[in-house]
């Protein structure tokens, strides 16, 4: 099954016999000194008809701490949030955000990791949608989704370190953060030794839509990632890395996500840090 869906395909699916549950996961990374984005207000100002708002910080992650800025959510609480949004195991789910794709990919990954069989991301997000928007907040019937973690690969810090030596570990952050030239959020700049720089922004065109699958496959192959290679991805806090895992899925390459990512890795002074363009 394709991991993404076009706006025209979504419009058709919403009028079909088995319309998908639609989740709005708008979110923006908060950096010091910048106004904080209010995703709920953005949702209430206009969303795709029938979409239910999901809060990334509260429902797709647990509180920041030793395991990073966006650790895994409590599985039971995640299940409650998904059922409240109308998610059922036998009903397809489509997730979208404001266009960047990172937050939608985080929801996509979590639903896949917990065993949902049919979830896709709206390619290009809300800006790609050509239909009407609504401000009414829907009240969907309770879903029956029961999360069963482990359906796709998950890495911890030790697993990521090992994979950087034995397989391919991709760093989805901007190149300047990978090289350690800047670090706007986390306490230490640099990257996990052995990881390869692969900014997830380079997986999309100017309109935010993913590049064709064959182009993505060629990009990842040039980095050593292919179907027969074990691949992992990390970023700052496990959000933009989910977007790269999604891009890999579009290219037909399975990948594991290090959810704690650099925000967890860099918080432990015993873990090694590499800087510069050299992976090591």
Active-site residue numbers?
235
- β-pair type (256-258, 231-234): parallel
Q: Rounded distance, CA 121 to CA 103, Å?
A: 10
Q: Rounded to whole angstroms, how far apart are CA atoms 122 and 128?
A: 8
Of 251, 258, 256, 246, which Cα lies nearest the Cα of 101?
Answer: 246
CB 113 within 8 A of CB 152: yes
Other C-beta atoms within 10 Å of 95: how many? Answer: 28
Q: At what angle do helices 240-250 and 213-222 cross, to 10 degrees?
A: 110
Looking at residue 71, the DSSP 8-state letter turns out to be P
What CA–CA distance (Å, rounded) separates 179 from 183?
10
HSE-up (13 A, CA, CB side) for residue 268: 14
Residues in Cβ contact with 30 at an 8 Å cutoff, skipping those fewer than 6 apart = 36, 37
- Counting every residue, how long is the chain? 280
């Amino acid at each position: 099954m394709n991991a993404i869906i076009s706006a025209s395909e979504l419009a058709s699916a919403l009028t079909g016999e088995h319309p998908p549950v639609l989740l709005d996961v708008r979110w923006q990374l908060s950096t010091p000194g910048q106004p904080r984005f209010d995703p709920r207000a953005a949702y209430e100002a206009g969303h795709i008809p029938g979409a239910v708002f999901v809060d990334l910080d509260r429902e797709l992650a647990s509180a920041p701490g030793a395991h990073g800025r966006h650790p895994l959510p409590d599985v039971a609480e995640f299940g409650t949030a998904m059922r409240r949004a109308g998610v059922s195991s036998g009903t397809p789910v489509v997730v979208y955000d404001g266009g960047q794709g990172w937050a939608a990919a985080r929801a996509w990954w979590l639903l896949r990791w917990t065993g949902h069989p049919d979830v896709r991301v709206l390619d290009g997000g809300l800006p790609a949608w050509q239909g009407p928007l609504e401000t009414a907040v829907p009240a969907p019937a309770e879903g029956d989704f029961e999360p069963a973690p482990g359906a796709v690969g998950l890495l911890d810090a030790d697993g990521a370190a090992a994979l950087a030596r034995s397989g391919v570990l991709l760093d989805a952050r901007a190149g300047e953060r990978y090289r350690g030239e800047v670090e706007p959020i986390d306490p230490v700049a640099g990257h996990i030794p052995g990881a390869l720089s692969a900014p997830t922004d380079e997986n999309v065109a100017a309109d935010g839509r993913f590049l064709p699958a064959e182009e993505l496959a060629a990009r990842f192959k040039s980095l050593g990632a292919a179907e027969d290679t074990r691949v992992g991805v990390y970023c700052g806090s496990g959000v933009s890395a989910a977007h790269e895992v999604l891009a890999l899925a579009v290219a037909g390459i399975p990948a594991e996500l290090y959810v704690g990512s650099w925000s967890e890795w860099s918080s432990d002074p015993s873990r090694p840090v590499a800087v510069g363009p050299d992976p090591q």
